[in-house]
Structure 1
Amino acid sequence: MNHRTRVYLAVAFTVALFLGVQLGALALVDPFQEAGHQAVEDPDDPTNSAVYFGIILGATALMLVTFKYDVQWLIKAMIIGVSVMLAWFVFAELVPPVVTVGEVNALAALAALVVGAALLFYPEWYVIDATGVVMGAGAAALFGISFGLLPAILLLAVLAVYDAISVYRTEHMLDLAEGVMDLKIPVVLVIPTSLSYSYLASGSTDGVLEDDDADSDDGSTQVDGSNADAVGESSADDATPNPDDSDTDTDELSEAEQERDALFIGLGDAVIPTILVASAAYFLDVGTIDVPGIALNVPALGALVGTIAGLLVLMYMVLKGRPHAGLPLLNGGAIGGYLLGALASGLSLAAAFGL
C-alpha cells in the first residue's frame, strides 16, 4: 500500500470516527431526555458554560499534577470508571432489557463492564476507538440536551480560544497529550496508517511531542503536527539556493511521513463540536429532517457538516506538518455550519443564538 493510499484511508477513518460520535449523539438525544439525563435545571443559563469550563480547567490541572508526581494510575482509573458509566448510559438505552435484575438491564450492565475490562486488560487501538465513539456519543448527547443554544455556542467559542492558547502559547496541552497517550485510555482516538500497527506494542510515546525529535520510536505522530513541523523548520533553516538540496529536504520529509504508523486526535475534538450538533437537534423545531433512528434538523446538519469540513482542514494541516490546535477549526466549522443551517431554516440570527 503506497503512502498516498495510506493517507487517504487514515483521513477516511478519522471522518468515520467523528461521524460515529455525531450520529450516535443524535440517536441518543431523545432517549436521554426521556430517561431524565438532562444535567441542569435551566439549560438556557449561560453560566452553565462557565461552570463547565471551570471543571475542564480543574481536570486539566489535576491531570498535569498526577503526571508530575507519577501517580498516573489515578487518572487511568478515573477515565476507565467514566468510560464504564457512559457506556452504561448508552447501552441502557440501546440494548433491549431482555434480562433484568430488579430494574437493571443486566445485558447493558454486562456490556459496560466488558468495556471497562477491555480498556484495563487489552487497550489495543480498536478497543480505544470503539470505546471512544461510545463515550463521545454519550457525552455529547448528555451535554447537548443540557446546554441550550447560547450556552453551547459560548462553550465552543471559549474552548476554541483556550485550545489555541494551550497549544500555541503555554503548550501545556502538548504535555497533557503525551502523558495520556502513555496511559492508553480513550481520551485520544488512534488512527493507524499501517495494517501492522499495534498500539499495545508501540511502547512509550516519550519524545513524540518534542520539537527536537521529528519522529517517535514507534513511528507515530500527534495531530498537533509538532513533529513534522520540526522537520520542516530544520529544512527551512538549512535551506540553500541549491535546488538539489531542496529536493533532498522534500524527500526526507516524505520519507519521515511514510514511517509514521499512526496519528492521534483528542476525543474532545470530536465531542465538543458535537455538543452543538446535539443541542441544535434537541432545542430547535425547525427544518426537521426525517431520518429513522436519529433526531436531525437543518441547523444540526449544518453543524455536523461544518465540523467535518473543519476536520478535513485539520487533517490537511496535520499531514503537511503544521502546528495547530484542533478546536478553533472544528468548533469554528460547527458554529459556522450551524448558523448557515439556522438561517436557511428561516431563523433570525437572534433566534439562532437562542436570544
Structure 2
Amino acid sequence: MNDEAQKLRLQLAEHLAAAGHVRTAAWRRAVEAVPRHEFLSGGYFERIDVPGRPTGWTPVMPESRQWLRSCYTDDSLVTQIAGTIVPGDVCGEITRLPTSSGTLPSLVVRMLEDLRVEDTHRLLIVGVGTGYSSGLASHRLGSDRVTAVEIDPDVASRARGALGRCGYAPTVVVGDGLAGWKGGSPYDRIVAYCGTVTIPYEWVEQTLPGGVILATVGGWMYSSELARLTVTGDGTAAGRLLDGRNSFMLARPQTPPPIGLLPDLDQADDQPTELAAHVLEDWDTRFVAQLAAPRAQRMTLDRDGSTEHVLLDVEAGAWAVLRQDDSRWLVRQGGPYNLWDRIADHVTRWYRDGSPSLDRFDITVTPEGQTITWPR
C-alpha cells in the first residue's frame, strides 16, 4: 500500500499545483510527503442522497477498496457525525448532521499558501480536524513552530495519534479555539479551519504586529467568505475578504441554536415589500443580508397551499415571513425589531452602491467587535 499511497500523493500534488492551489515549492513538498490516509485511518462517511429522505451517511473503512483512493481525491471527507459518532461506530446508515471532517486538500493548501508563512514563523491552527493541516504545517515549519487547538478531546486525540504515526509532534491542545491559545502566543500567523460568525478579538491579541489572521466569516444563513487580516501596532486587525466561496462547519460555540417552537406567524399584518425573498438564493446577496442579521436562520414552510419564507432570530425573538401574492411580495414581522426591514435596507443600499463583489469588502476587528463594509 505504501507504494500506491506515494503514487497517489504525487498525483494529488500535481493536481493541486495545476489548479493553482499549490503555488510554492515548499508546500508542494509537504503535500508530496504527508500521508493523508494516515489521518483517515478510522474511515470516513460517504453521503447517501435519496429523494424524499433526509441525507444519510454510511461508513467507508480502510478495508474497502475505495478507501485509499478516496483519501487522495480533492474532497472533504466527513469523519464524525452528531458530535461523537465515528465511522467505526456505524453499521448501515445514519441521518444525523456531520460535526467534523477532513477538509478538501485544495482548500487546506490554498489557505496555507495565503498565509504567506516564512521559515521562522510560529503558527496557530484553530480546528485540528483530522490533523492533516497540522501535518503539512509541521513538515513546512517544523513541529516546534506549530500549535493546534481543538474543542473536541476525541478529535484532538485522534489527530495527535495520526501526527505521531507520521513523525510529527506539534502542540495539540484541547480548548475553545475561539479563545486562541495563550500558552503558545504570540503567533506570526493564525489560520482557522472552522467557520466563524465573528472573528474573536483574542486572536488579534495573540498575534504579533504585522502578523496575519486567515479565517472564514459568515452567518447563520450559511453564506461565508475567507477573510485575511493583518494585525497592526495599535491592537486592531484589518484586511479584506478573499475571492472564493468557502464553507466550513461553524465553530461549535457559534453554531445556531435549535429553532424550536415557532412563534405565532399570523400575529402581524401583511405589508408590501419591494425586495423578494428569492434574492437570498444568491450567495453574495445572502452574505450582505447576514451583515444586517448574522444570527438569523432561514427556512420555508408550505401553508394553505403556498410557500412562506421564514427568517427567525431565535436569540432576539425577531421573525419575518414573506410570501408572494400574484406579482407582489408581502411580509409580516414580529419581535423586538423588524428583521426583514433591517435586511432589506442593507441589501438595497448594497444594490444602490453598484453591488460590489465580496472581494472588495473590508473587514476590521477591534476590542469593540467586527465590522465588514463595502466600497461606496
Q: TM-score range, shorter-chain basis?
A: under 0.3
Q: Which is richer in helix?
A: 1
**Normalising by the residue count of structure 2, what TM-score does the alignment of the two structures yield?**
0.21
Higher RCO (CA < 8 A, seq sep 6+): 1
**Normalising by the residue count of structure 1, what TM-score does the alignment of the two structures yield?**
0.22
